[in-house]
Amino acid sequence: MGSTVYEVVRDVVAQAAPEEAVLVVALGRLDQRQVARLLRGRHRDERVGFGLEGVLAVVTPVVWIVVDEASRTAASAATRGLGAKLRVLMRRFLRRRPRLPAEVPALSAEQLDAVHSRILDAAHAAGLKDATAVRLADHVLARLMLDRLPHPPVSAAEDP
């Protein structure tokens, strides 16, 4: 079973920027669309709102935005087999916008490489040094690859 964008971000931030963990928890209470809009609309030098004035987040927005974009792109590619007209009709009929994927889809090697590059670019744009940007990109890549590993079944005796 895959992980959500929130779970990936939470795990990466715990390793790469534990001081931002409180922000990730707060963002986890919001709708995924709200979080993406909030983080994309922020300027790099602004402090995050909702009572967290003391937190200047750098890692969280970089990771969340890139993983969210990769998730959307992969999910979109998976649904292209359904005709565009049919999707438009279904949206009109249901009067809803398409749902975001609950889980980050399994990403191909090319998609993982693209995520790594996007994290590097975004980290540099956010002002992180080269070594820090590379470590962050490596953390994200490692976390995304965890979901690709086969998980052995858990027996009832092993379940805590």
Confidence label for 2 from pLDDT (cuts 50, 70 and 90) = confident
DSSP state of 57: -
Q: What is the DSSP letter of 55?
A: -
Tokens linked to 116: 């790594």
pLDDT in tens, 39-92: 887 544 444 444 444 446 899 999 999 999 998 887 666 555 555 556 555 566
Domain boundaries, the chain: 5-146
112/116 Cα distance (integer angstroms): 6
- Say what the pLDDT of residue 45 is: 44
What residues contact residue 49 under an 8 Å CB cut-off, 6+ apart?
none
C-alpha distances in angstroms, 140 versus 23, 35, 77, 98, 119?
A: 18, 18, 21, 26, 8
Q: Which of 3-7, 33-37, 67-71, 107-111 has the lowest mean pLDDT?
A: 33-37
Q: Tokens for 62?
A: 């970089």
CA distance 66 to 112: 11
Q: Which 3 state secondary structure label does DSSP give 155?
A: coil
Whether 98 shows a pLDDT value over 50: the answer reads no
**Mean pLDDT on 123-134:** 94
Other Cβ atoms less than 10 A from the Cβ of 29: the count is: 10
What's the distance, Cα to Cα, between the start and end of the chain in Å? 19
Distance CA 95, CA 87 (A): 12
